[in-house]
Structure 1
């Protein structure tokens, strides 16, 4: 069973390649509140819906002091296509070896139509300005998740 994070835990550090050829680390985001969301695969219907919901809510999330980062095992080139195709306005990071996804408890056993397999567990983490987990949500739904998160954060 994958170890899951809980409020108060220290957020696992990361330094990963981004969709635009750069790198992004959790350290570089210190001092900001971060919403890190894990999704299975770029350009699939559910992941597109979720990414577009974050894009459409980004201005109000940023106004409340949050930075949004998406993480998946996709290669940076695929992430770049996703950003371009859907006009995403926040960074996507690539965790090809799934080391960071595992550290966050966002990779593990899943079940779909009776089939058991390993994969990305759609999850969202709110990390405070000091690098501590404020919210850890696992097995979230792609549709409606951002609206629910906004309510949970008291933004709506």
Structure 2
């Protein structure tokens, strides 16, 4: 499969390039945090969470590919998704209870305007919560993206 090139959309490249130094296609953590704060209006804590979630190889840097994953999954909806998670997180232990997620999701609609069906909510919540029976931020973002409620 040599020669396959991943196409990065120009808007993703343009945002990334503002924070890139020395033409290295990676951002050190501080630069990545600044990108999340400035470009997406996240709080410091939220920016840190997004960095931790999307630094897939856990090397302390955000590659262009990792940023592209963030942008594709949630992009401009990052602050909205994180604020929703924080509003549902009652115990401040970094996760939400299934019943809180259920109640919130009953009020959500798909991009076409259709309310979510109870069977959809149940299936996705079971998959998201897993054996732990709770939903952390990463599971929550994946859940909303899986339901296609948000698109980067």
Tell me the TM-score normalised to structure 2 length.
Answer: 0.25
Normalized per residue, which structure has more strand?
1
**Bigger RCO (CA 8 Å, 6+ sep):** 1
Larger radius of gyration: 2
